[in-house]
Structure 1
Amino acid sequence: MGSSPPQNVTFPGNGATAHGYLALPPQGAGPGLIVVQEWWGLTTHMVSMVDRFAAEGFVALAPDLYGGATTHDREEAARMLAALPADRAARDLHGAVDYLLGRPEVVGDAVGAVGFCMGGGLALVLAAQEADRIAAVVPFYGLPRIPGFAYGGLTAHVLGHYGEEDRSIDQQRVDEAAMLIGEATDVQPEIHFYPAGHAFMNDENLNGTYDPLQARIAWQRTLSFLWGHLG
């Protein structure tokens, strides 16, 4: 198990002190954006995603849901995920929303949430829990791991990115989730499928399914979507 990249902020979360990695945009202020980690933890890839979003104008924050632990081992990642109760993760993420909205650099009274794999599902749960405090949510190859999750309370616009060759999440599950979101909200989610496997955005991806072309397409769609609903 490796060590986490530098955590540079703390905030109240889950009745204790939560940690995270924050990056500010070059202009010093912008919309707030929560970046939710994959099951590997707050890795250098997640830090680089935060930096990329900040470079595009967002005040971006990745909460460290594992308390400093990262891994590149699949079995270890599965154990770390299993040891992370969804309610505790949600409380840490709630604290992150409070923290971002309280920062003077954050423009507006709602933030966005982007999540990858495990974090994609958590981002959707967060958006449902936070209602109009989350204006836009972008799950990458993830859905909530809570059986029967109904998306009630979700008011955010939804943009989803999924791989056609992703063996961990099939299109039927994604289509069912999109239908549930449409039934629970006034907004139809925008869902894209890519000719790629799982974690196609992750250039440190140990599965070998990183796809630079599809990653670039998804990245541009994400930026346009976030600016359309947060800018």
Structure 2
Amino acid sequence: MRTEEMSFSTANGNTTAYVAMPDEAGSKAVVLIQEWWGLNEHIKDVARRYANEGYVAIAPDLYRGKLAADPEEAGKMMADLQLDDGLDTIARSVSKAREQYGIDTFAVTGFCMGGTYALRAAATSDDFAAAAPFYGDIPEEDVLKGLSTPTLFVSGTKDGWINPEKVGELESAAETHNLPVEVLKYEADHAFFNNTRREVYDKEAAGDAWSRVLEFFRKRL
């Protein structure tokens, strides 16, 4: 496995993506969207895990080099990030990876804020063959009804932010509009996949979710 930085331009300036790839990189990639903290070591670690599974992993830096030191700063940085800017950065990372690495099939995933962007990107773009958002916010129904990307949504029933009511909105929209959505529910808190946050990390739930997402991607990429 090797890692490198991929530079690319966006509508609002230049940024980079952290790229992890197996020794024999193929044509399938997972675009991994950061939590509200920024493109930190945890996200880079998850990217390397995907590379160990045979995927080129691309983690675009939506904050353009900034990292949050605490929840207050993270909340401000997330609020300051314009939705269109984030989606544009994701789309341009896909275009650049297609050109630079010869990728022809992409999945998208992300955690917390990244789950929000992953789900919305899947609903508004035809770039992705599969999506696996982890506990991201649910788009309005007018956006959701355009979702044609097979989606595995991962949630925690103890999540106070993306709570069961919000997850229910996704399930209702999926039923109403016959959307290709499957919802996984774990008895776990928000950010339960993040093994650097011991106060919320749930090893059993994280391990099962990881296996399920990998299986989901293998079938569709």
| Fold match (TM-score > 0.5) | yes
- 3-state secondary structure, aligned to 1:8: strand
What is aligned with 1:87? 84
What is aligned with 1:223? 214
**Displacement after TM superposition at 1:184 (Å):** 4.1
> Alignment length, in residue pairs?
219
What is aligned with 2:195? 203
Q: Which runs of 5+ in 1 are unaligned?
A: 1-5
**Displacement after TM superposition at 1:215 (Å):** 0.6
**TM-score for both structures, normalised by structure 2:** 0.92
Counterpart selection for 2:163 from 154, 163, 170: 170
What is aligned with 2:119? 124
Counterpart selection for 1:140 from 134, 139, 144: 134
**Displacement after TM superposition at 1:153 (Å):** 3.3
CA distance in 2, matches of 1:177, 1:103: 35
The Cα offsets for residues 20-49 of structure 1, whole Å up to 9 and x where unpaired, read as: 101112322241111000001001000001
What is aligned with 1:160? 153
- 3-state secondary structure, aligned to 2:136: coil
8 Å contact kept, 2:120–2:143: no
The Cα offsets for residues 134-154 of structure 1, whole Å up to 9 and x where unpaired, read as: 11010111124x555532432
CA distance in 2, matches of 1:72, 1:203: 17
Amino acid at match of 1:170: N
Supply the RMSD in Å over aligned alpha carbons.
Answer: 1.9
**Displacement after TM superposition at 1:104 (Å):** 3.4
What is aligned with 1:37? 34
CA distance in 2, matches of 1:35, 1:159: 14
8 Å contact kept, 2:110–2:132: yes
Q: Which runs of 4+ in 1 moved over 6 A?
A: none
The change in CA–CA distance for 1:97 and 1:181 in structure 2 (over 3 A counts) is farther
The change in CA–CA distance for 1:112 and 1:54 in structure 2 (over 3 A counts) is same
What is aligned with 1:3? none
What is aligned with 1:212? 203
**TM-score for both structures, normalised by structure 1:** 0.88
Counterpart selection for 1:100 from 97, 102, 123: 97
8 Å contact kept, 2:108–2:128: yes
Q: Which runs of 5+ in 2 are unaligned?
A: none
The Cα offsets for residues 95-133 of structure 1, whole Å up to 9 and x where unpaired, read as: 011122223342x3x3100010011010011112212x2
Give % identity: 33
8 Å contact kept, 2:131–2:151: yes
- 3-state secondary structure, aligned to 1:35: strand
What is aligned with 1:10? 7
The change in CA–CA distance for 1:7 and 1:25 in structure 2 (over 3 A counts) is closer
CA distance in 1, matches of 2:143, 2:218: 27
